[in-house]
Structure 1
Amino acid sequence: MSSSLQLSVLGNIEIIEVYDYYDEPCLFACKNGSGQIFLAVWIDQTETHKTWLYAPVSLQRFKRIRAGDIDLKNVFLNSEDRFVYKVTTFYDNSPAEVEQLSCKTLSDEQLPKSGEMIEVGNESLFALEASNINQLALEKKREIINFTFKFPSVQSTEAPSLHLGKTLSSFQPFVDALGQIKSVGEISKKISSQILKQTEMAITGTSSGSFVATLGSSPSSQKDIFGNTLAGDAIEEFLKLLRIGRNREELHGRLLVLKKVKLRLSIVTFFIQ
């Protein structure tokens, strides 16, 4: 099976993760052009064809599946839409056949065993989440940034409030300061209320898997003639600093370029640890 497949009513399917492989993917996650995610499992084969079950899942449910909160049998037997798709692919390259099945009609022979889980640890879906961020930003017409956290001592669907609070409370003044630099070219002790209004961020949602906090800019953030916002410029600069990583000399040099010598290096270091 290739990494993409045209499946009539399902659209063009692209594999995003493979969990079990035998000559070809046997258990995998995929999505179509509209962003609908499916979990697919091979269930049968003959001399002429192979048969698969595709369960449509929301992003939130998918993250719970990856986190081990939902077993594979439950994914297909209790689909959110109460149906799955039976997909038949043929060795002679004939068009695949797709049939919608009610979850109630599935037999034990067609379903994974109870208790079987997907095991991906705390790995994050960076590519999928990035795509989701872009779509969310366009829909809301706001700047969007996701913070994906990995806390080894707690469940992947949770985050310790103290650590999370420190991170988010440090991020806002950091963005405010970067916004001031981008706006007036320097930093001062007091940032104008006009700039603060443009760089204000709000938590717009959280999700599980790896714990993810989604932050969005203020809806009142104004765009310039090029369609850019001050919050967007500040976030872009923040991401540049993250990409520098732990190189203190390069980091310090970038802060000098920003005329941001007064910004505490500890704030930047906190985000790249």
Structure 2
Amino acid sequence: MELFTTPLGEMKIVEHYLFYDRPFIFLCEDKVSNKFVVHLVDDDERSEKWFFVPSSNLRVEAVRTGRISLRDSIINAETGVIWEVITPFDGSEGSALIRNCSSLTETDLPGPNAVLSLPDNRLPKKNIDAKKEADQLYRDVLFLYLNDGEHSQLINADHLGLILLRSQGLLHSLIDTDGSSKGRISKSTKEKATMYYAGDFAASVGIKLEAKSNGLFDSPIQSALELFIDLLDASTDKELLINLLSNVQKRSIARYRFLLQSLLQANVSIKAEWGSPKKNIKVASLTLDQINHAIDIMDLEGEDVTQKIKLVGDLVGLLTDNEKKRYTFEFINMDGERYKGTLSHEIIENVMSGLSFNVPAKNISVELEETIEINQATSEERIYYTLVNIG
């Protein structure tokens, strides 16, 4: 960093914002890391006049990215005062004077529309790739890069939350390889696929996720993460994507589509980087156009995802109320998971014809129809169950 001496002491230039033959606007800091946004205000044949505006890290980012104008950053300085510094050309000491912001005149200030427009710099730079981080942590790691095309390091909190929720939901289903016979994804299965937030980085917005289990041993999360990357990678090619989707559950297809929809809602492209102590790094990325194309390939819009599941457990509730047209059931499987829903038309007709069931019924087998309903507006997932067979 370039060092220079002022009446305020020795400073070092951190970043030039406007430079033409000489600095006009730049960021500097003193020996104890106090930061100043510095403006060249005036000059004559003997000296230059500068405004040193004390600035926090957040104020610095607001100025350099144009979220606050240069004029407002001076008259609304965080401390209420700035330093007016005179630096003579002959190398003599010069002077420094505290100016109250309310005393500044129009001739002291930039125009009202003067702003900088530099890339956001508030997030830390990523100084290690996913593979090296995985090796150091003995954990599988997933880096997500979310880019709005303008290098902004801001993202709507709702959008970010939904992207992370959809990513985690997809991993839950990808790890649940025998889910078609068990119905709802179990708590223990979800725990195996749970990723933990481990930090952020400049990407535009970069998110680090880390697995809980030791990555030096074989773990289901490794195959789920690899398939996650493979889905993204295949989504640029129709034939590859269709072939890959033919080997995953309908639930996973729906959840992958949910993830892609959340990216569209946030208007961000995605790059994913997976590192594992036992394997090499894998990277895949999708532009917004490619995300749109992948959704079209899957051709799931407006459809519900339905599958039949068989369970063993206790039928603890069965309601047949002809007057109110209510026909519901409640079932608890052997793992203690509770299923509630409606009766199929066939069972309702049988009940109305005189068929009865002893409830509670212990240790019986049932067949349920599980329907994942997709809300087209929000991509929300709701699961409904219909009892189609008993015994």
Instruction: Provide the TM-score with structure 1 as the length reference.
Output: 0.54
| Structure 1 CA distance for aligned equivalents of residues 91 and 220 of structure 2 | 68
| Structure 2 CA distance for aligned equivalents of residues 154 and 48 of structure 1 | 42
Match of 1:166 in 2: 163
Give the alignment's Cα RMSD to 1 decimal.
3.9
| Structure 2 CA distance for aligned equivalents of residues 148 and 29 of structure 1 | 28
Match of 2:69 in 1: 71
Match of 1:93 in 2: 91
Instruction: With a CA cutoff of 8 Å and minimum separation of 6, indicate the structure with the bigger relative contact order.
Output: 1
Match of 1:5 in 2: 4
Q: List gaps (5 residues or longer) in structure 1.
A: 131-145, 191-245
Match of 2:278 in 1: 259
1:43 alignment partner, SS class: strand
| Structure 2 CA distance for aligned equivalents of residues 48 and 152 of structure 1 | 46
The reply to whether residue 186 of structure 1 matches residue 217 of structure 2 is yes
Match of 1:103 in 2: 101
1:67-99: CA deviations, max 9, x gaps? 322111111111010000011111121124222
Within a 5 Å distance, the mapping from 1:138-149 to structure 2 comes to none
2:74 alignment partner, SS class: helix
Instruction: Provide the TM-score with structure 2 as the length reference.
Output: 0.40
Label 1:160 to 1:186 Cα distance change in 2 as closer, same or farther (>3 A). Answer: same
The reply to whether residue 176 of structure 1 matches residue 211 of structure 2 is yes
Within a 5 Å distance, the mapping from 1:57-68 to structure 2 comes to 57-68=55-66
The Cα of 1:55 is off from its aligned counterpart by 0.7
| Structure 2 CA distance for aligned equivalents of residues 175 and 106 of structure 1 | 51
Runs of 4+ in 1 over 6 A off after TM superposition: none
| Structure 2 CA distance for aligned equivalents of residues 148 and 45 of structure 1 | 45
1:4 alignment partner, SS class: strand
Instruction: In structure 1, give the amino acid aligned to 2:87.
Output: T
Greater mean alpha carbon deviation, residues 151-160 or residues 29-38 = 151-160
| Structure 2 CA distance for aligned equivalents of residues 22 and 189 of structure 1 | 57
Report which of the two has the higher share of helix. Answer: 1
Label 1:161 to 1:43 Cα distance change in 2 as closer, same or farther (>3 A). Answer: same
Percent of matched pairs sharing the same residue = 20
State the structure with more CA Rg. 2
Label 1:167 to 1:16 Cα distance change in 2 as closer, same or farther (>3 A). Answer: farther
The reply to whether residue 34 of structure 1 matches residue 53 of structure 2 is no
Instruction: In structure 1, give the amino acid aligned to 2:35.
Output: I
The Cα of 1:102 is off from its aligned counterpart by 0.7
Report which of the two has the higher share of strand. Answer: 2
